[in-house]
Amino acid sequence: MIYLDHNASTPVRPEVADAMHQALTDLGANPSSPHRAGMQARAAIERAREQVAALVGARADEVVFVSGGTEGDHLAVIGAALARRDHGRIVAAAAIEHHAVHGAAELLEQFGWSHQSLPCDADGRTPVAAVHALPEGTTVVSLMFANNETGVLQPVTELAAAAHARGMLVHCDAVQGAGKVPVDAAALGVDYLVLSAHKFGGPKGTAAVIVRQGAPLAPLFRGSGHERGRRGGTENAAGIVGLGLAAEAAAREIATESVRIAGLRDAFERQVLAALPDAVVHGARVPRLPGTSQVSFPGARSDHMLMALDARGVCASAGAACHSGGVEPSAVLTAMGVSRELAICAIRFSFGRTTSADDVARAATLVPEAVAAVRQSGAVGARP
């Protein structure tokens, strides 16, 4: 198999798997217990906290460990909104945000908050003017670091400055960016930043929220004082050890790997576009994550393309939501103004640490084969 779905999840690094196995063997005690075994587990967690902080330019005491990016987004958005409920009950999020962020906003709506959506331009970037246009009473703004479908990098620093000038708190979902390109929470100027281990060689089910020193946060999980009172529940010591080690390895390799992977992506796009000149690469005119390429193949619906690619040994993802009998266009591409006919033909290829030049060369020949097969089958169009 040629695995080109690293934005969905990355293979666990061998050294991370080994460290987690050792942690499962050696760190059986509760990290909150005062005895020697508990202190050993606590020391491993605090070491990982330092490793995670170093990856994203944060302080160790700003790191809060959680179960994944979805929980991290909910903790940041809802926790910040609850902490600022006396200042207003409006939250805002970019239209291109991950479903986890929109889900947090929808939950707040059930408790009396309202939700504003920030538009994006044709390249998939949120304009600063959108922040200026938010109504009074907006207390929290969500601004993703890089889009999970197109890979387009967002002008977070400028957006955050505009939001802070209006007294708003800023949450940044950096799940797709952290560990792949340099991310500096302090330089971005955000109050909350979320990252997830399985996007850069760590285990699934382990993530972190960076909570800027002094930023208000109401905990969602209560009844205990774990994570300095910000997230109740006994810590997942083995997972956290894996997250920390993956963060350290990613930080060490970012400078060289980001260049190598960007070269692979560019070579892939050149070869595919040469064979299929009517294909459209979304977000190609602006800076993107090095390993993300979302391409629409007119006349080849994404659900059929995924089956054709899988039959040829290529793993990728659809930009559209696939259902029985049809597809719905990606909300991201819709926000960018991409036509429905083109949006339902979008496929995301994402490259990572384990991707080789040979993988890319082979995939670039198999993709046109898959497109031709789907087009010839006559399986075109959306559900009526």
- Please report where in the chains the tokens 């970012």 appear, as a residue: 254
**Catalytic-role residue among 120, 172, 315, 322:** 322
Write out the H or E segment, with its range, that includes residue 354.
Answer: none
Residue 204 makes CB contacts below 8 A (sequence gap 6+) with 9, 68, 197, 198
Produce one character per residue of 86-112: b if its CB has 16 or more CB atoms within 10 Å, e if not: ebbbbbbbbbbbbebbbebbeebeeee
CA distance 156 to 142: 10
Residue 351 makes CB contacts below 8 A (sequence gap 6+) with 4, 6, 261, 264, 265, 268, 290, 291, 292, 293, 360
Residue 143 makes CB contacts below 8 A (sequence gap 6+) with 94, 118, 126, 154, 156, 159, 160, 163, 170, 171, 172, 190
Q: Which two tokens stand for residue 374?
A: 């789907």
Write out the H or E segment, with its range, that includes residue 240.
Answer: helix 237-275
Q: Is 322 an annotated catalytic residue?
A: yes
Are the C-beta atoms of residues 283 and 151 closer than 8 Å to each other?
yes
Q: How many CB atoms lie within 10 A of CB 189?
A: 18
User: Which residues are the active-site residues?
Assistant: 322
